[in-house]
Amino acid sequence: MRLPERQLAVLEAASATDERTIDEIAAETGLKPETVTGAAFDLRDEGLLSVVETAAETLGLTDEGRRYVDDALPETRLYRAGLALDADEAAVSMGRVIGEAGLDGPEVDIALSNFARKGFGTIDSGELTVDPDADPDADPEAAALAALADGDDPAVDEAVLDQLDSRGLVDRGESVTRAVTLTDDGVDALMTAVETTETVSQVTPELLASGEWRDVEFSEYNVEADAPTTRGGRKHVLRRTADRVKDVLVGMGFQEMEGPHADSDFWINDCLFMPQDHPARTHWDRFALDVPPMEGIPDELMARVEAAHRDGWGEDGDGYHSPWSQEFAREVALRGHTTSLSMRYLSGIAGAELEPPQRYFSVEKVYRNDTLDPTHLLEFFQIEGWVMAEDLSVRDLMGTFEEFYRQFGITDIRFKPHYNPYTEPSFELFGEHPETGEEIEIGNSGVFREEVTGPLGVDCDVMAWGLALERLAMLTTGAEDIRDLHGTLADIEFLRDAEVSY
Ligand code: PHE
């Protein structure tokens, strides 16, 4: 059975002890006594409660009775006035005594009749005599009035009460006390009601509009309950790393380069003095695209690059003397490095002719026909960069990297001599993986050869590099497998939880 909330509250309060009065229940539940009474009768009608009524007499003073408590009963005042006028020795005129007593109106008759009744004295032919032995202070009627005024329950003689009642000085009434007790059905009903009370966890517009909210039980908040983890969107750790890289490089005075992902082989390889028969230029090693050749390579530049390949550049230069064709140079491939962008910018075709000093960078995607493994992806981001200035040394290169990696908390990079067809000297960079302790390659660098800078029209030093963004992220996040970071095998949990300090 589903009980209305008030009935349930009354039933519950009533169950606390064997017998409870309506007033006790009202005090406990905070409901008005009338409300509790109504609910108790409803419950009685349902057979869930028994209600025992006990009538008790109530006794209170009327206004007149209260006035006599303050001013003394009229007959007492008459007696005292009589005494004051020596009416115990001689009869004194009534008028004088009444005047002395300050009695007025109906009080005069009241005083006279009760004076005689109580034996305070005698009244004869308009003269009053007081009985010196009478004692109004011991008057039981006055004592009863005083006790009632004090709120005591006076153990008063019935006859005295009747007297006061007939004089209209007290109010006699009857009050009914109702004590309630649960019946066996009531106990059962309470148990099932407590068990089945539906709790509501949310106020809805319907509950409010229907007024039903008054009768439903709201569930309490459990602030210690387990809650599902809610995750908001977050920037991919690789994107965060890329953004930080850009900030750091811009902070170091670099400007950003941009350019095509699919580019002419000319920019990707020929400008870099990579012989056209170099193994890295076979279709096995790169993603070639079946698209028409790109235009826009300046003829003189093409001629100078071809000359460098065929015969070398500078006084001591000797070319490759290997096959070279403009058609091959114009073919389009997905760039395997972003050094193609460096070539475009150094040549001046990407903007104005550049005068030293200059610093440029990009953080862009490159594509390689590698074999996927824990440190290799087919697509990854390269942090390309170069500095054009007079008299650059290997110290400048190392100092630049040390400063750059320090921004990511990496202070132990190692340099190893290396070979690139386009730089001399060349260095590979290594960092120590924070989890495995293994050395992993994080970049490749060097100072561009004259065969590269010469045909581009640059006649000062250019130091340059390509660093792997994902490898940097492996060092900062502790990812042990590069495939966790991006691509189809990315580890979503890892990416959600990965913490980096930048
Ligand atoms: N292109 C090189 C690579 O992809 C990086 C590099 C750029 C090295 C410029 C030297 C100079 O590994």
In this structure, which residue's CA is closest to atom 10 in ligand 1?
A: 445
Q: Is 326 annotated as a binding residue?
A: no
> Of the ranges 84-88, 159-163, 200-204, 264-268, which one carries the lowest mean pLDDT score?
200-204
Name the closest-CA residue to atom 5, ligand 1: 466
State pLDDT tens for residues 216-245: 888 888 788 888 888 888 999 999 999 999
| Ligand 1 center–CA 337 separation, angstroms | 7
Confidence of residue 329 (pLDDT cuts 50, 70, 90): very high
Residues whose CB is less than 8 angstroms from the CB of residue 193 and which lie 6 or more positions away in sequence, other chains included: 1, 2, 3, 8, 11
Instruction: Out of 269, 339, 343, 381, give the residue to mutate to test ligand 1, the one with the largest number of ligand atoms within 8 Å of its CB.
Output: 339
Ligand 1 centroid–CA 2 distance in Å is 79
- Ligand 1 midpoint to CA 89 (Å): 142
Residue 197 has pLDDT above 80, yes or no: no
pLDDT of 101 strictly over 80: yes
Is a pLDDT exceeding 90 seen at residue 58? no
- Taking CA atoms, 317 is separated from 421, 451, 454, in Å, by 14, 8, 11
Tokens 């008028």, located at residue: 95
pLDDT of 199 over the 80 cut: no
Whether residue 261 is predicted with pLDDT greater than 60 in this model: the reply is yes
Kindly report, residue by residue over 122-169, the tens digit of the pLDDT.
Answer: 988 889 999 999 999 899 999 999 888 887 666 778 889 899 999 999
Mean pLDDT of 10-31: 87
CA of 268 to the centre of ligand 1 (A): 11
Mean predicted confidence (pLDDT) in 482-487: 94
Centre of ligand 1 to C-alpha 269, Å, is 11
pLDDT on residue 262: 94
Among 445, 448, 462, say which to mutate for ligand 1: greatest number of ligand atoms within 8 Å of CB: 445
With residue 12 as reference, give the H or E element that holds it.
helix 5-14
Lowest-confidence range among 286-295, 388-397, 454-463? Answer: 286-295
For residue 385, how far is its CA from the centre of ligand 1 (angstroms)? 9
**Ligand 1: centre distance to CA 489 (Å):** 27
Residues with Cβ within 6 A of ligand 1? 337, 339, 420, 423, 444-446, 464-466
pLDDT at 338: 98
Secondary structure string (H, E, C) spanning 300-320:
HHHHHHHHHHHHCCCCCCCCC
Distance from Cα 468 to the centre of ligand 1, integer Å: 10
User: Does the annotation list 276 as a binding residue?
Assistant: no
Of the listed ranges 43-47, 397-401, 453-457, the one predicted with least confidence:
43-47
Q: Which of 365, 420, 461 to mutate to test the pocket of ligand 1 (most atoms within 8 A of CB)?
A: 420
Tens of pLDDT, residues 370-406: 899 999 999 999 999 999 999 999 999 999 999 999 9
Enter the ipTM: 0.98
The span from the CA of 284 to the CA of 354, in Å, is 36
Average pLDDT over residues 316-320: 87
Average pLDDT score over residue span 345-370: 92
Q: Ligand 1: which of 269, 341, 376, 444 to mutate, judged by most atoms within 8 Å of the beta carbon?
A: 444
282 CA from centroid of ligand 1 (Å): 18
Q: Which residues contact 237 (CB under 8 A, 6 or more apart)?
A: 473, 477, 485, 495, 498, 500
Is the pLDDT score of 266 beyond 90?
A: yes
Please give the pLDDT value at position 81. 94
Residue 200 has pLDDT above 70, yes or no: yes
Q: Which atom of ligand 1 is nearest to the CA of 382?
A: 4
Closest-CA residue, ligand 1 atom 3, reads 466
Q: Prior bond to 425 cis, omega within 30?
A: yes
Q: What is the CA radius of gyration of the chain?
A: 55
Is 442 assigned to a binding site?
Answer: no
Q: What percent of the chain has pLDDT over 90?
A: 65
* 424 known ligand binder: yes
Helices (H), 289-432: 299-311, 326-330, 339-347, 394-406
Q: What is the pLDDT of residue 324?
A: 94
Walk me through the domains of the chain, giving residue ranges and CATH numbers: 237-497 (3.30.930.10)
Dist CA 431 CA 410 (whole Å): 8
The pLDDT confidence band at residue 198, using thresholds 50, 70 and 90, is low
pLDDT for 2 equals 65
Q: So what's the pLDDT on residue 414? A: 97
Q: What percentage of the chain has pLDDT greater than the value 70?
A: 98
Closest residue by Cα to atom 7, ligand 1, is 465
382 in a labelled binding site: yes
Q: What is the pLDDT of residue 217?
A: 81
User: How much is the mean pLDDT over the chain?
Assistant: 91
Nearest CA to ligand 1 atom 2: 466
Residue 173 clears pLDDT 90, i.e. is over it = no
Nearest ligand 1 atom, CA 446: 10
- Of all atoms in ligand 1, which is nearest to the CA of residue 463? 11
The burial class, CB within 10 Å (0-12 / 13-18 / 19+), for 280 is middle
